[in-house]
C-alpha cells in the first residue's frame, strides 16, 4: 500500500513539473507573438518654432537640411521658444544635417540667451523670453507616453498658446429660451487645466457700458513668463426673484458695468421702444493748444505677453482721451512692431478720441522680436506722409514703447528720423537690470534713439503696472511745441540771406543765371513764416534790399520775387555789402532761427572784407562764399565761416553754378545735424 501511495505522489509531482514547464514555454511563445506597440513620432519641418507647439514635452522627427541659416536659433544649450526646433537640435549636436528623432522639453523663460557658433549653426543672442526648451536624443523615457500628433497654437486663437480660458460668444441654440444667470470668473490656468468654453448670448452693439471707477492697480508683479488674465469677473444676479435681473461686468475694484435689464438677452437686441431718442453729444474738434501729429509705436513682440499688451492698449486709450483728439488739435495714429512693423491706423483714420479708443481696443499683438530700429525706419518712410494725414504745419512726434530692450540697433534709424523732423520719445518699461545688460544688443540705446539726450524725451518705467503714472508727464511734453527741438530741421529752421553781386563785370545774361542759382537753392527749403525764410540784397558800390525775411511767406512768392530782381550794374564793394546785410536783413532775424548768408561774387572787392566778415561770424551768421570766374580765392576764404573748405566754393563760369547746389545743401544740413543733442 505504501508503494502505491509513493508511486501516486511521484506521478503528481511529475505532472506538476510538466505543467509548470509547459506553462513557462507557452508564456514565452505568447510573449514572442505579442509585439510591443510601435511609437509614432510626428514629423515637423525645419521652420517650426518651439513656441508654436503647445505640448510641454514631445518627440519629433526632423527632416534633413535644418542647418540652413534661414532657420533662426536663439541661445546655447537652452533655447528661446522663438527658435527653430530642428535648428536648435543641430546646433546642440543632438542631430546632424541629415535629420532624425529628437526629444524636446519646455522649460521656463530665461533672462537672456547668448548666441554661439556650433555644429555649423550660428545661434543668435536674444533678450529675456517667456519660454525656453531643451533638446536631447530621441529616446523615450520609461513610463512616459508621448503624443503621436502635436498640438499647434493657432494665430486665430491666441489664448490657446498660453493655455488660457477662452470664451465663445454665441446665441443660444434655441432662440427665445430663457438664459439662466451665470457667474464666470477668469483665472490663470494650471498646466493640468484645459481651455474651457462658455457660451454667452451676443450683446447688442447698441448697448453702451459706462464706468466711473479708476483702473485697478495690481499690487504685485508676476514673473515675465507668466501671461495672466486680468482680474475681471463677469457676474449676474443669481436671485431669480430680483426685481432687476441683468448681467454686469465687474472689475476687481468692485465697479460694475450694468447692462440694462430691459434687454432681451436671449435674442441679443434691445426693443425699439427702449432705444434712447436723445441727440448725440457734439464731437470735439480737438484741443487747439496741442496741435501735433502723433504716432505711437507700440511693442507687439512675443516677449510682452497678452496681459502687458492689454495694459499698453489701456494706456493708449487714456492718452487719446487726455489729448482730446480732433482736426483742430492733436491727431493720433498707431504703428505696432514685432519682427516687422505695420500701421494699425494712420493720422487721418480717426478724428476724435472715441473712435481712436474703439480702434485701439481691436488691436492684437503681432508677435516676434522687438525690432525697434526697423519700426523707426518704417515710421520715417511711411507714417508721416501727406497720404497718411500729415498736416505739414503740425510737429511730428513719435512715442516709442519698448518692453525691456530692442533686439536690433536703433542709432542709424533714429538719426534719419531726427533729420526728417520727427521728435522721438522713448518709454522703456522694465528695462535691463545690471545682470541683463550683457544681453542688450545696443548699449545706451535709449540715448541714441531719442530726439535729445536732455532727459525730456526719455521715460523709464520700472513696472508695467506703473505705466499709468507717465500719462500726464507725457501729454504735457508732447504738447509743448516750443520744446520739440527735432521739429526743426536743416530745411525748415533758417533765415537765409542772399547777398548778390550786381557789378558791371557780371553782365545781364550772367545775372539771370545767378538769379536761377538763388532760386535753385531756395526751392530746396520749406518756406513759410514759421519755417525757413528768404531775403535778398544786391550790391555794387551801393547796396539795395530786394526783399526782407518777413516780406514773402510761401515758396511760389519767393521764386517770383527772385525773378523780378533787376540787374543794377556798377562796382564791387563786398565788405560794405556784408555790413548792409547784417543791418538790414539779419538784424531782423528771429532768435530761434539759424542765420545763413550766401554771398555770390565774380571778382575782388574794392573795399576790405576782413572786418565785416569777422562781424558776421561774431553775430552768429554762418556765411557761405561762392566765387565765379575772377573771384579772389583768398577773399572767399576770409568771408566764409570756418572751416573754409566747407563754406567756400568756386566755379569757373556762371553756367556751372548749378553744379554746386547739391554740395551747398548737403553742407548746410551736415552742419545742422552735427549740433550737440543735449
Work out the mean pLDDT of the chain and round it to a whole number: 80
Determine the pLDDT at residue 111: 82
- Strands in 56-204 per DSSP E: 57-62, 75-76, 78-80, 100-108, 112-113, 117-118, 121-122, 126-127, 131-137, 166-169, 184-185, 197-200
DSSP symbol at 64:
S
Q: Could you check whether 293-483 and 494-674 share the same CATH topology? A: yes
DSSP symbol at 109:
-
Query: Would you say residue 408 has pLDDT above 70?
Result: yes
Could you tell me the three cell numbers for 200? 454667452
Closest CA to 500 of 624, 320, 404, 614: 624
pTM: 0.55
Q: Please give the span between the terminal C-alpha atoms of the chain, in angstroms, as a whole number.
A: 122
Cα 532 to the center of its chain, rounded Å: 31
Residue 105 CB coordination number (10 Å): 15
Dist CA 354 CA 578 (whole Å): 57
Query: Would you say residue 219 has pLDDT above 60?
Result: no
Closest CA to 577 of 549, 551, 616: 616
**pLDDT band, very low/low/confident/very high, at 252 (cuts 50, 70, 90):** very low
Contact 477, 425 (CB under 8 A): yes
Query: Would you say residue 198 has pLDDT above 70?
Result: no
Query: Would you say residue 280 has pLDDT above 50?
Result: no
Contact 394, 425 (CB under 8 A): no
Determine the pLDDT at residue 220: 37
Closest CA to 394 of 366, 423, 425: 423
Alpha-carbon dihedral of residues 332, 427, 408, 53, nearest 10 degrees? -90
Dist CA 141 CA 144 (whole Å): 6
Contact 372, 449 (CB under 8 A): yes
Contact 200, 265 (CB under 8 A): no
More confident site: 392 or 637: 637
Counts for the chain of helices (H) and strands (E), in that order: 16, 27
Average pLDDT over residues 640-668: 95
CATH number for the region 50-137 comes to: 2.170.130.20
Average pLDDT over residues 500-504: 97
Q: Specify which residues 197 forms β-bridges with.
A: 166
Dist CA 351 CA 353 (whole Å): 7
> Cβ contacts of residue 308 below 8 Å, gap of 6+?
403, 429, 464
Dist CA 670 CA 678 (whole Å): 17
Determine the pLDDT at residue 499: 98
- DSSP string covering 389-455, please? T--SSSPEEEEEEEES--SS--HHHHHHHHHTTEEEEEEEES---GGGGGG-SSTTHHHHHSS-SSS
The full set of domain ranges for the chain reads 50-137, 293-483, 494-674
Measuring CA to CA, how many Å separate 478 from each of 319, 350, 397, 498?
11, 19, 7, 35
Q: What are phi and psi of 367, to 5 degrees?
A: 85, 170
* Domain 293-483: CATH architecture, name and number where available: 3-Layer(aba) Sandwich (3.40)
**pLDDT band, very low/low/confident/very high, at 401 (cuts 50, 70, 90):** very high
CATH T-level topology, domain 494-674: Rossmann fold (3.40.50)
Query: Would you say residue 573 has pLDDT above 80?
Result: yes
Residue 76 CB coordination number (10 Å): 17
Question: Cell numbers 556650433 label which residue?
Answer: 118
Query: Would you say residue 562 has pLDDT above 50?
Result: yes
Average pLDDT over residues 513-536: 94
pLDDT tens readout for residues 124-143: 888 778 889 999 998 888 88
Dist CA 334 CA 316 (whole Å): 9
Query: Would you say residue 206 has pLDDT above 90?
Result: no
Q: What are phi and psi of 676, to 5 degrees?
A: -55, 145
Residue 139 CB coordination number (10 Å): 10
Query: Would you say residue 414 has pLDDT above 80?
Result: yes
Host H or E run for residue 309: helix 305-323
Could you tell me the three cell numbers for 166? 477662452
Tell me whether the omega of the peptide bond preceding residue 643 falls within 30 degrees of 0, making it cis.
yes
Amino acid at each position: 500500500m505504501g508503494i502505491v501511495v509513493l508511486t501516486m505522489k511521484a506521478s503528481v509531482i511529475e505532472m506538476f513539473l510538466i505543467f509548470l514547464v509547459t506553462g513557462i514555454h507557452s508564456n514565452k511563445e505568447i510573449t514572442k507573438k505579442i509585439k510591443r506597440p510601435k511609437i509614432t513620432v510626428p514629423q515637423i519641418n525645419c521652420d517650426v518654432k518651439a513656441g508654436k507647439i503647445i505640448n510641454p514635452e514631445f518627440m519629433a522627427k526632423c527632416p534633413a537640411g535644418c542647418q540652413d541659416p534661414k532657420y533662426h536659433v536663439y541661445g546655447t544649450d537652452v533655447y528661446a521658444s522663438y527658435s527653430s526646433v530642428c535648428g536648435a537640435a543641430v546646433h546642440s549636436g543632438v542631430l546632424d544635417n541629415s535629420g532624425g528623432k529628437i526629444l524636446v522639453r519646455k522649460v521656463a523663460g530665461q533672462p537672456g540667451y547668448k548666441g554661439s557658433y556650433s555644429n555649423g549653426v550660428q545661434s543668435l543672442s536674444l533678450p529675456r523670453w517667456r519660454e525656453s526648451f531643451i533638446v536631447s536624443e530621441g529616446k523615450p523615457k520609461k513610463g512616459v507616453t508621448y503624443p503621436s500628433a502635436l498640438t499647434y497654437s493657432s494665430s486665430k486663437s491666441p489664448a490657446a498658446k498660453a493655455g488660457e480660458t477662452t470664451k465663445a460668444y454665441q446665441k443660444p441654440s434655441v432662440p427665445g429660451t430663457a438664459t439662466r444667470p451665470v457667474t464666470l470668473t477668469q483665472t490663470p490656468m494650471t498646466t493640468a487645466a484645459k481651455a474651457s468654453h462658455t457660451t454667452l448670448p451676443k450683446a447688442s452693439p447698441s448697448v453702451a457700458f459706462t464706468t466711473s471707477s479708476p483702473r485697478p492697480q495690481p499690487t504685485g508683479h508676476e514673473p515675465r513668463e507668466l501671461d495672466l488674465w486680468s482680474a475681471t469677473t463677469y457676474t449676474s444676479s443669481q436671485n431669480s426673484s430680483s426685481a432687476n435681473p441683468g448681467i454686469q461686468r465687474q472689475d476687481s475694484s468692485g465697479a460694475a458695468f450694468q447692462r440694462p435689464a430691459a434687454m432681451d438677452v436671449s435674442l441679443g437686441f434691445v426693443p425699439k421702444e427702449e432705444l434712447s431718442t436723445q441727440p448725440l453729444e457734439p464731437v470735439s474738434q480737438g484741443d487747439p493748444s496741442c496741435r501735433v501729429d502723433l504716432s505711437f509705436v507700440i511693442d507687439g513682440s512675443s516677449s510682452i505677453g497678452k496681459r502687458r499688451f492689454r495694459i499698453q492698449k489701456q494706456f493708449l486709450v487714456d492718452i487719446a482721451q487726455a489729448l482730446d483728439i480732433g482736426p483742430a488739435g492733436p491727431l493720433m495714429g498707431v504703428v505696432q512692431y514685432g519682427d516687422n512693423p505695420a500701421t494699425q491706423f494712420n493720422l487721418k483714420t480717426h478724428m476724435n478720441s472715441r473712435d481712436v479708443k474703439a480702434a485701439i481696443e481691436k488691436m492684437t499683438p503681432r508677435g516676434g522680436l522687438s525690432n525697434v530700429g526697423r519700426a523707426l525706419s518704417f515710421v520715417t518712410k511711411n507714417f508721416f506722409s501727406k497720404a497718411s494725414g500729415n498736416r505739414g504745419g503740425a510737429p511730428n512726434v513719435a512715442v516709442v514703447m519698448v518692453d525691456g530692450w530692442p533686439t536690433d540697433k536703433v542709432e542709424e534709424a533714429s538719426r534719419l528720423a531726427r533729420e526728417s523732423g520727427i521728435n522721438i520719445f522713448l518709454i522703456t518699461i522694465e528695462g535691463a537690470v545690471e545682470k541683463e545688460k550683457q544681453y542688450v544688443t545696443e548699449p545706451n540705446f535709449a540715448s541714441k534713439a531719442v530726439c535729445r539726450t536732455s532727459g525730456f524725451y526719455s521715460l523709464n518705467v520700472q513696472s508695467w503696472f506703473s505705466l499709468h503714472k507717465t500719462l500726464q508727464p507725457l501729454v504735457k511734453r508732447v504738447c509743448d511745441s516750443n520744446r520739440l527741438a527735432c521739429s526743426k530741421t536743416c530745411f525748415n529752421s533758417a533765415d537765409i540771406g542772399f547777398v548778390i553781386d550786381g557789378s558791371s563785370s557780371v553782365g545781364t545774361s550772367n545775372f539771370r543765371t545767378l538769379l536761377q542759382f538763388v532760386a535753385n537753392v531756395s526751392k530746396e527749403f520749406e518756406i513759410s513764416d514759421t519755417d525757413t525764410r528768404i531775403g535778398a540784397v544786391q550790391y555794387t558800390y551801393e547796396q539795395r534790399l530786394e526783399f526782407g525775411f518777413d516780406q514773402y511767406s510761401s515758396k511760389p512768392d519767393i521764386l517770383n520775387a527772385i525773378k523780378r530782381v533787376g540787374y543794377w550794374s556798377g562796382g564791387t564793394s563786398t565788405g560794405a555789402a556784408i555790413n548792409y546785410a547784417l543791418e538790414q536783413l539779419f538784424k531782423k532775424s528771429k532768435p530761434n532761427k539759424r542765420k545763413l548768408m550766401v554771398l555770390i561774387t565774380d571778382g575782388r572787392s574794392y573795399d576790405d572784407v576782413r572786418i565785416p566778415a569777422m562781424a558776421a561770424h561774431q553775430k552768429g551768421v554762418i556765411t557761405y562764399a561762392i566765387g565765379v570766374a575772377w573771384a579772389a580765392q583768398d577773399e572767399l576764404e576770409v568771408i566764409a565761416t570756418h572751416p573754409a573748405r566747407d563754406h567756400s566754393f568756386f566755379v569757373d563760369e556762371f553756367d556751372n553754378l548749378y553744379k554746386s547746389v547739391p554740395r551747398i545743401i548737403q553742407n548746410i544740413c551736415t552742419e545742422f545735424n552735427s549740433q550737440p543733442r543735449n
